Structure 1
């Protein structure tokens, strides 16, 4: 399945938290919690997915959080996660079902984070997202994101294994491959459920990633009105809307 379609993540949503939540939560705490604790107005979670980063931002901050997630399957998981939070934290969240560039947020927050999503935007959508982020950040507001791969690999990369994770008698796992495909990096997740060595189910979902070198990203950010600044974590890029 190509995740650019409206049913994107329809396969992955079932497996995502089971196979990736622990790693994603640890990374979010390392990358975003300190900045969220300093937020004084609101925080944007752009591409909230199943809500792992949203929950970290809520726990680290005391301000409202805007969680933007257009994929219905992932948003369902996000809302299920929010349902299990305390009413005080849940009251601070606004869920936006549109793509971020269509959400219409204006000077809504002093911090925006985009975890594991910028690479999935084609160049035109990426540039539109930078412009929307400039509008959504208050003067002096900070953007943190993990950048796309800088370039395409020369061939298919060695498969990465997620899991296995045991649920009762069953093992859940995924093999992830990445290879160049018509100018993008095609990432394929092949999910399996096994019991006693027998494959009970197998499902596959593909995502396209658009590489962009740091220099190009910096130029796009400057054009959109954001100043590139030093990131608080080596895996991130950071930009700030100039103070008024």
Structure 2
């Protein structure tokens, strides 16, 4: 069984079918990309995996355990954490306090204060925010707030991190820095990533494999090279 396995997931919102029998499997240590135009179902699939939305049909398994129907907090404590398209830090708290909240309430195990402090320090260091720890989260740039989202995910002790458009709105230099950060986190910490991203060049360079969704259906799957050469993907994605 794969590390993360999505089996025949469907989701209806009234008469709208947002996902239709989607299958997906992610191996441990992999960077897995999700590609598709707006409305393809990518964020809905993220929400189903993370427990924010209940599927109409299908199952999700993580690390050998069925997690379908569990609350977001229990899924987080099992080792899956997600970020969101629109960053929403606790703007009136410091950068360090934002990460400390994640370490306190997101972790699946009890930690001493020393362990919590180490977790916060390590998360801030990993994303390059150690020098901003005392500043207000609301004062960070967009790039800084996106890095803070990742730091909060790391502080929960997550083993699989789902990133929803973490590079949206960043300039080319910031995108290159984010790519380096994510690659380093995988190499040094053995993290697994599932990434939704509209910056196609970044998604192609970062991902080991990519799943393409169109109107809630799986239309292609393979390596970045295979996806780039897929005529159906080019037709539906680029017109």
Task: Output the TM-score relative to the length of structure 2.
Answer: 0.33
- Higher fraction of strand: 1
Task: Output the TM-score relative to the length of structure 1.
Answer: 0.33
- Higher fraction of helix: 2
